[in-house]
Amino acid sequence: MESLLSSTSLLSAAGGLCWRKQNLKLQSLSEIRVLHCNSSKVLAKPKLRNNLVRLDGQEPSLLLYSRHKSRFRVNATAGQPEAFDSKSKGNSFRDSLDAFYRFSRPHTVIGTVLSILSVSFLAVEKSSDISPLLFTGILEAVVAALMMNIYIVGLNQLSDVEIDKVNKPYLPLASGEYTVKTGIAIVASFSIMSFWLGWIVGSWPLFWALFVSFMLGTAYSINLPLLRWKRFALVAAMCILAVRAVIVQIAFYLHIQTHVFGRPVMFTRPLIFATAFMSFFSVVIALFKDIPDIEGDKIFGIRSFSVTLGQKRVFWTCISLLQMAYAVAIVVGATSPFIWSKVISVVGHVILATTLWTRAKSIDLSSKTEITSCYMFIWKLFYAEYLLLPFLK
């Protein structure tokens, strides 16, 4: 059930409807606005509907569903979301999967998988290279990288529980579905498994990719002296650029090139372009991700570019950087000696650039929902680019 609890001035009371405004407190919980009151009777206004529905209960709480369909019990007096006992409804397994899905930050998981697949195929030189050996090497890299990805995003959530209660209250730690101990157990387990797999595979490019990602991900998030680099906008952007643009492209390419195929190190034209292009994209992601989080970042002293320069300036800087990157991609594609590569690269990037510009002009920068939606759209463009990269020759 997705609904908005209306901050109306009405309350059910002995034969009439009347609220006293001072008894109300409005709090945002994911995409649900929760109306807290000192009564067990709560008024709910469903989203996109005008009628009011009164929900009565034995306890001063109301069962709500967020956009992710996770269950939360919202205390009507304390004003805090509490984890709902899903076992009482027989849905513990489904709810556990849903919580882990959100904890893993699926948009980063998809990005990691597509990037490794795309870069791996850049090492393919002839049709005989497409073999079980190649797919085994890709599987090794994908599994190890995904486990490290979960460590990194999980550690970030552990370090940002209070911030996420403002910016991303649907995340399991912020909502109370996961305890801190549970979060620590998950990130510790996945980091160990990632290093273990990287070690037994015996690929040094893969192992070093995992190690450097671990170090940068830890330094980015963990709140220790000289660390928590996310507090510093430029350093935070460089961390994301190093992982998403440099490590992913070069290290995983070398994993396939040297460990799987046993060939000498060679930096090809498509690899150089992929690294340069994704450097632009990684900077954009690093800048854009803070635009919808400006409220919590201000409260907790995170000096992001959106906080220091303003949302509008950072937004249009991101759009301009991507348009520049697409322009370069069109030129590079047009110079390919293969006609099929020219057509796919040029037409594909023209479509992406046009779609981005059209979407950007329609965004209301005063709406957090629209900005967040646009951020996820940027990730979709990121995925699309990795689908185009193997066609660049």
Instruction: Look at residue 277 and tell me if it is in a domain.
Output: yes
Residue 174: φ, ψ to 5°: -70, -35
Contact 41, 56 (CB under 8 A): yes
Q: What's the confidence (pLDDT) of residue 70?
A: 42
One-character DSSP codes across 240-275: HHIIIIIIIIIIHHHIIIIIIS-PPP---HHHHHHH
Q: Which of 226, 244, 263 is the last residue of a domain?
A: 263
Out of 48-62, 91-105, 165-179, 230-244, least confident range: 48-62
On the question of pLDDT at 381 being above 60, the answer is yes
For the whole model, what pTM was predicted?
Answer: 0.70
Closest CA to 164 of 156, 310, 372, 367: 156
For 3, the enclosing helix (H) or strand (E) is strand 3-4
Would you say residue 283 has pLDDT above 90? no
Residue 130 falls inside a structural domain: yes
List the single range of 16-20, 112-116, 374-378 with lowest mean pLDDT: 16-20
Higher pLDDT, 190 or 278: 190
Number of neighbouring beta carbons within 10 Å of residue 241: 19
Which residue among 263, 289, 314 closes a domain? 263
Residue pair 384/329 in contact by the 8 Å Cβ criterion? no
Most confidently modeled range among 30-39, 182-191, 328-337: 182-191
**Which pLDDT does position 88 carry in this prediction?**
52
310 and 231 in a common domain: no
Q: Residue 196 falls within a domain, yes or no?
A: yes
Considering the domain boundaries, does residue 36 fall inside one?
no
Considering the domain architecture, whether residues 158 and 292 belong to the same structural domain is answered as no
Nearest 5°: the CA angle 19, 24, 30 is 130
**Torsions phi, psi for 54 (to 5 deg):** -95, 130
Residue 237 shares a structural domain with residue 311: no
On average, the pLDDT of the chain sits at: 79
Q: In the chain, what is the greatest distance between 2 CA atoms, to the nearest angstrom?
A: 84
In a domain? residue 87: no
State both tokens at 147: 């486990």
Q: Could you tell me the pLDDT band of residue 90, with boundaries at 50, 70 and 90?
A: low
Contacts (Cβ under 8 Å, ≥6 apart) of 239: 216, 217, 219, 220, 229, 230, 286
Total of domains in the chain: 2
Q: 311: pLDDT confidence band, cut at 50, 70 and 90?
A: confident
Residue 146 has pLDDT above 60, yes or no: yes
Domain assignment present for 55:
no
Percent of the chain with pLDDT over 90: 43
Compute the distance between CA of residue 290 and CA of residue 234 in angstroms, rounded to an integer: 12
Residue 167, amino acid: N
175-189, 263-277, 287-301: least confident range? 287-301
Average confidence (pLDDT) over 201-218: 94
Q: Tell me, yes or no, whether 185 and 302 share the same domain.
A: no
User: Does 324 score more than 50 pLDDT?
Assistant: yes
CA atoms of 163 and 176, how far apart (whole Å): 14
- Tell me the residue range of the domain where 376 lies: 267-392
Name the residue among 273, 351, 346, 280 with its Cα closest to residue 318: 280
Are residues 240 and 210 part of one domain?
yes
Same domain flag for 216 and 125: yes
In a domain? residue 156 = yes
Tell which of 245, 263, 281 closes a domain.
Answer: 263
Same domain, 287 and 334: yes
pLDDT at 289: 83
Highest mean pLDDT among 22-26, 164-168, 187-191, 224-228: 187-191
Residues 163 and 301 in one domain: no
Which CATH number does the domain housing residue 181 bear? 1.10.357.140
Query: From CA 304, how far away is CA 373, in angstroms rounded?
Result: 20
92 vs 12 pLDDT, higher one: 92
* Contact between 208 and 144 (Cβ < 8 Å): no
Residue 8 confidence (pLDDT) above 60? no
- What is residue 205's predicted lDDT score, i.e. its pLDDT? 95
Give alpha helix (H) positions in the chain: 92-103, 106-122, 132-159, 161-167, 172-175, 180-201, 204-221, 233-241, 252-254, 269-288, 294-299, 305-309, 311-334, 339-361, 368-388
My answer on whether 129 and 276 are in the same domain is no
- The larger pLDDT score, comparing residue 17 to residue 246, is at 246
Judgement on whether residues 175 and 310 belong to the same structural domain of the protein: no
Q: Is residue 149 part of a domain?
A: yes
Q: Which long-range contacts (CB under 8 A, 24 or more apart) does 134-141 make?
A: 134/256, 134/260, 134/261, 136/260, 137/203, 137/255, 137/256, 137/259, 137/260, 138/256, 140/197, 140/201, 140/203, 140/206, 141/116, 141/203, 141/206, 141/252, 141/255, 141/256
Total number of residues shown for the chain = 393
Same domain membership, residue 131 and residue 222: yes
**pLDDT, mean of residues 161-180:** 90
Q: Is the pLDDT of residue 334 over 50?
A: yes
The residues that bridge with 55 in the sheet, in sequence order, are 42
Asked whether residue 182 falls in the same domain as residue 306, the answer is: no
Contact call for residues 78 and 64 (beta carbons, < 8 A): no
In the predicted model, what is the mean pLDDT of residues 98-124?
92
CB atoms < 10 A from the CB of 50, how many?
Answer: 7
pLDDT at 85 over 80: no
Which of 73-77, 198-202, 235-239, 301-305 shows the highest mean pLDDT?
198-202
